[in-house]
Amino acid sequence: RDPATVVDPELRLVFKHQGGYATLERADAAAAAQGGSGQDEPRFRPYDGLVHGVVYRLTRADFDKLVKKEGGYVVQPVQVQTYDGHVCTALAFVSNPLFKLPQEVSPTEQYLAKVREGAADNYLDPNYQAFLSGISTVTGAGLGAQYYNTPSKYMGYSFLLLVGLITVAFFAQH
């Protein structure tokens, strides 16, 4: 495992995954979603504008196990540069559009504590750790609708409505 940064400066860490979890998003996509011109600042601005993280080398079997545990994400290749200068392609978990929130939200205390702990345990840049420490959080209890207002929610409601209509039609025929 190696500390690294995402090479593409347009990729940002945002808290727009269902439940207030993190994902990567292009800066121009974030501005377009907010109706901006690309001049808007991200809600939580990193000190250098780069996303920092850790690159892990995994076996295929271990990676497949991880994919099964990460609900609502898709795997995308991302160019990263380790702190010692090595550039490689990593596979990153990015929100599936069905699980992506329309607006950024504050992460939960418990979730961000794990992110901060991982950053410290892997010796990420101290300035980036300070950035993570400056992100405001919310308690995990009683999250509002804005944390679950994703297309997958509406697909679930549509499915329930469809099942209800089929049930009514079945009983109406008999």
What are the tens digits of pLDDT across the range 33-86? 555 544 445 555 556 789 999 999 999 999 999 999 998 999 999 999 999 999
Q: Which of 10, 41, 70, 109 is catalytic?
A: 70
Q: How far is CA 102 from the centre of its chain?
A: 12
| The model's pTM | 0.78
Domains of the chain in start order, with CATH, are: 2-172 (3.10.490.10)
Q: How do residues 156-171 score in pLDDT, each as one tens digit?
A: 555 566 667 777 777 7
Percent share of the chain, pLDDT over 70 = 82
Is-catalytic flag, 70? yes
- The answer on whether 111 is annotated among ligand-binding residues is yes
Residue 108 CB-density burial (10 A; 0-12 exposed, 13-18 middle, 19+ buried): buried
Q: How far apart are CA 157 and CA 162, in angstroms?
A: 9
Going by pLDDT thresholds of 50, 70 and 90, the confidence category of residue 145 is confident
Region 147-159 average pLDDT: 68
